[in-house]
Amino acid sequence: MASGSDRNPIIIGGLPSQVPDFDPEETQEWLDSLDAAVDERGRERARYLMLRLIERAREKRVAVPEMRSTDYVNTIATKDEPFFPGNEEIERKVLNATRWNAAVMVSRAQRPGIGVGGHIATFASSASLYDVGFNHFFRGKDDGKGGDQIFFQGHASPGVYARAYLLDRLSSDQLDAFRQEKSKAPNGLSSYPHPRLMPDFWEFPTVSMGLGPLGAIYQARMNRYMEARGIADTSDSHVWAFLGDGEMDEPESLGQLSIAAREGLDNLTFVVNCNLQRLDGPVRGNGKIMQELESQFRGAGWNVIKLVWDRSWDPLLAQDRDGVLVNKLNTTPDGQFQTYATETGAYIREHFFGSDHRLRKMVENMTDDQILHLGRGGHDHKKIFAAYAAAKAHKGQPTVILAQTVKGWTLGPNFEGRNATHQMKKLTVDDLKMFRDRLRLPIPDKDLEDGVPPYYHPGRDSEEIQYMHDRRKENGGYVPTRVVRAKPLQLPGDKAYATAKKGSGQQKIATTMAFVRVLKDLMRDKEIGKRFVPIAPDEYRTFGMDAFFPTSKIYNPLGQIYESVDRELLLAYKESPTGQMLHDGITEAGCTASLIAAGSAYATHGEPLIPVYVFYSMFGFQRTGDQFWQMADQLARGFVLGATAGRTTLTGEGLQHADGHSQLLASTNPACVAYDPAFGYEIAHIVKDGLRRMYGENSEDIFYYLTVYNEPIVHPAEPEDVDVEGILAGIHKVANGSAGSIPAQIMASGVAVPWALEAQQILAEEWNVKADVWSATSWNELRREAVEAEEHNLLHPEEEQRVPYVTRKLSGAEGPFVAVSDWMRSVPDQIARWVPGTYQSLGADGFGFADTRGAARRFFHIDAQSIVLGVLTELAKEGKIDRSALKQAIDRYQLLDVTAAEAGEAGGDA
């Protein structure tokens, strides 16, 4: 065989073979030894020897590349398992009672007249994984700190409820109100983990699959961030995420693994319940999902612990001198293992062990029943304990535990491992009897035959229940529990907003910069300044926030161990272990996860943070809308800035960046308070009120969305008679018509307000129209208030009928009313029915495109001249002007020719 120096200089499997061989004779001796091992003892023995050499090399700190995957056996050898401190017999009884109540709760929810269903099989497979955590690892909040943060797999919620019932945290009436949140109020239990629906129980919503693992990673990172900045002691907090192997197909589940490894988040453990099944069938029928996941996690830099087989396999593996059993395990696909879970011991003997005489010999003294009960590691308390203990002890890396289970475990042959088990919700009488017998519960047959099956509780004074209480007391209290200990913040006064209220003088600035100025002043506040968490997806310079770099710095747990290329500049890029800014890279999903973790810190750790997430508006509600829903569900608070907003304002970027609809998408989120301000003083009042509502007395579970623009304009100073109530409610007048005799009203939002003011001047000078201009700071809030008024009137006809705010505000104004914005018409059309007069809207419907701002606005007919035409059109409909004026206006302003429009304001932050 050729020595290393004679072979081609390539890299094979990560091993550099082009390195010069300084001792070919010694090399040849090693190679000859390997050849001899293969020839005399076989490939499996040679493989074993190589693995032991790699193990020893690592012990001696010799750099050897990581293997992508290992044998299909447990990572932790039996000899290395720690002492199990629990009482396994008692824990078995506890778990059996929990299993029963979880399944019965779902079955009862499917009874005639209710039929709301639920999921049984997921918890049945993962019950032991949770039970070991509850008994020995999950930290509660009784010490006044945050405890552990546990992201429970959504479909396993019945098991968490069932355990809470045994601990008297939930009643049987509440279990019977599963998925009946309104009809059985106040006892209703949410179908999945929903903090908004059960704010004292659940902490993290997880059933939108993929968002749990993403949120867990950034929660672990936020814990480190808070400790590094001296805001909270999170050193004892560990983040656990319980996931399904099918869930790992979601891009969000695996997309951010690298950040956890890069930042050494050893306070994070993923537990992937590998029951080998998706909702409708096998995850990887022809492959091996555990091996695939192991490769992905190892490649991303995670510590991987595989928990494949329970202790009944230990004697067989100890006999496997030739590696034939391990080879069989390695080569059997998941679809076949799923089949073994549904077959008899005789079938397994023939089809798994029967292919090789050495395998047959291993089980010749075992009965078919013993073979049938060769189990999966995710059901073995001692093996699970060993894996969890190893994960907690591991330093420098996050850990993933890949635990193999059987979906529907213990539920009987009609459920276990069946493709349809996820959709099966009801147990027959025969199913219940088999299930009861397997769990060894003292429930008589007649109780199962008389209609609805009963819940089982061994009694408050029983040994099992006392054991459960003792274990939770030892671990710091009951989980899951959501506690809000945070006190209201001392908020800054008017001085912090003075700069924005002065206007910009002769200088033109974008509303993005107006907001950044407000934020900069707030971050200087001695009371709350340190609580702001700026977040951006690699666009701080775009938003003019590079001015924050020298003072606030960018958070990096390693600091900055390189010399920055721009270190000599005033606004040099600076990283620090105590940095305040989160610079998450090009990942809106990651940034939104940071936003949620920071925005819920007031509950998670009892310390409020004020996240300010700034992003290209097109990549907010459209791209990560599911996470904003998750944010609302998690009761997170903070500011979300859709910068570079508008369909025509960011014209150079084209279709993919042109946002004309995020305000409409924001309106679908009940927790989102959305504004589209035009001027700096409006922003000041909105931000001030947002801080009051989210962080002051009687704080609300809402978050704020502000769309701001990159088009420079002159910002007026705040008027002496500023209508603060109108700004916050959604509409206020910014300019009375000063000339003309024919009245009209123009309502505009955001960047369209200057167009409206220009149109006001043209109408007065050229058409004798006296138009008032209104700034509609929030079409969404106006609609929301009006809907609430109508709902009240619908249900309280005997009371004085409420009049929507927008109707009251405009009641003295003489129309027609023309609304305009840089959004599609559906945004201002939200308030059409409540406007007291003829109403017309102008908007940027359709796709955006790259061109000058003037050309784009002329194309969509939302520029000042088009607004003039819109007002004239409505006046003509009312008979207040002659219709011939309309053709005159079209011709005069060349409204059908986009090239006739002035280019408009050039420049901006993008």
Mean pLDDT for 47-76 is 81
Task: Write the CB contacts of 128 (distance below 8 Å, at least 6 apart in sequence).
Answer: 95, 378, 379, 380, 381, 384, 405
> Which residue, chain included where needed, has tokens 């073994």?
340
* CA–CA separation, 625 and 631 (whole Å): 10
Predicted confidence at residue 3, as pLDDT, reads 41
Which amino acid is present at 481? Answer: T
* CA–CA separation, 148 and 61 (whole Å): 33
- For residue 275, the tally of other CB atoms under 10 A from its CB is 31
Residue 776 above 80 pLDDT?
yes
* CA–CA separation, 222 and 582 (whole Å): 10
Cβ atoms of residues 275 and 59 within 8 Å: no
Task: Write the CB contacts of 171 (distance below 8 Å, at least 6 apart in sequence).
Answer: 165, 187
As given in the structure block, the two tokens for residue 601 are 């810190």
Query: What are φ and ψ of residue 36, in 5° steps?
Result: -65, -40
* CA–CA separation, 896 and 863 (whole Å): 12
Cβ atoms of residues 576 and 555 within 8 Å: yes
Cβ atoms of residues 849 and 855 within 8 Å: no
Predicted confidence at residue 425, as pLDDT, reads 64
Percent of the chain scoring above 90 in pLDDT: 81
Span 156-175, pLDDT tens digits: 999 999 999 999 999 999 99
Predicted confidence at residue 910, as pLDDT, reads 40
Residue 405 above 80 pLDDT?
yes
Q: Which of 336-350, 446-460, 612-626, 767-781 has the highest mean pLDDT?
A: 767-781
Q: Which residues of 188-205 are buried (b: 16+ CB within 10 A; e: fewer)?
A: bbbbbbbbebbeebbbbb
Residue 681 φ/ψ region, left for φ over 0, alpha for ψ in the -120 to 50 degree band, beta for the rest: alpha
Closest to 581 measured CA to CA, from 539, 547, 551, 553: 553
pLDDT-wise least confident of 52-56, 57-61, 668-672, 768-772: 57-61
Span 22-38, pLDDT tens digits: 788 988 898 899 999 88
Residue 458 above 50 pLDDT?
yes
Radius of gyration of the chain (CA): 33
Cβ atoms of residues 750 and 678 within 8 Å: yes
Residue 1 above 50 pLDDT?
no
pLDDT-wise least confident of 48-52, 69-73, 418-422: 418-422
- Predicted confidence band of residue 12 (pLDDT cuts 50, 70, 90): very low
- Predicted confidence band of residue 254 (pLDDT cuts 50, 70, 90): very high
Closest to 386 measured CA to CA, from 100, 42, 84, 599: 84
Closest to 639 measured CA to CA, from 594, 677, 690, 683: 690
The per-residue pLDDT of the chain, averaged, comes to 92
- DSSP annotation of 657 reads G
* CA–CA separation, 429 and 745 (whole Å): 71
878 vs 431, residue with greater confidence:
878
- Predicted confidence band of residue 370 (pLDDT cuts 50, 70, 90): very high
Closest to 154 measured CA to CA, from 219, 117, 95, 209: 209
> Which residue, chain included where needed, has tokens 């409820």?
161
Kindly report the CA angle at 596 between 660 and 233, in degrees rounded to 5? Answer: 155
* CA–CA separation, 555 and 226 (whole Å): 11
* CA–CA separation, 126 and 524 (whole Å): 49
Residue 7 above 70 pLDDT?
no
Span 826-846, pLDDT tens digits: 999 999 999 999 999 999 999
- For residue 656, the tally of other CB atoms under 10 A from its CB is 11
Percent of the chain scoring above 70 in pLDDT: 96
- Predicted confidence band of residue 43 (pLDDT cuts 50, 70, 90): confident
Closest to 853 measured CA to CA, from 862, 842, 866: 862
Span 505-522, pLDDT tens digits: 999 999 999 999 999 999
Residue 55 above 90 pLDDT?
no
Task: Write the CB contacts of 675 (distance below 8 Å, at least 6 apart in sequence).
Answer: 682, 686, 704, 705, 706, 707, 777, 778, 781
Predicted confidence at residue 60, as pLDDT, reads 81
Residue 569 above 70 pLDDT?
yes
573 vs 515, 566, 585, CA distance in Å?
21, 7, 14
Residue 4 above 50 pLDDT?
no
Predicted confidence at residue 63, as pLDDT, reads 66
Predicted confidence at residue 6, as pLDDT, reads 47
Predicted confidence at residue 44, as pLDDT, reads 77
Predicted confidence at residue 101, as pLDDT, reads 96
* CA–CA separation, 599 and 178 (whole Å): 29
Predicted confidence at residue 8, as pLDDT, reads 44
542 vs 337, residue with greater confidence:
337
Task: Write the CB contacts of 23 (distance below 8 Å, at least 6 apart in sequence).
Answer: none
Predicted confidence at residue 9, as pLDDT, reads 43
Cβ atoms of residues 757 and 640 within 8 Å: no
In a 13 Å sphere around the CA of 857, the CA atoms on its Cβ side amount to 25
Treating both helix axes as pointing N-terminal to C-terminal, what angle do 884-893 and 864-877 enclose, rounded to 10 degrees?
170
Residue 875 above 50 pLDDT?
yes
Span 416-438, pLDDT tens digits: 767 656 666 678 898 899 999 99
Q: Which residues pair with 509 in a beta bridge?
A: 713
Cβ atoms of residues 772 and 745 within 8 Å: yes
- Predicted confidence band of residue 327 (pLDDT cuts 50, 70, 90): very high
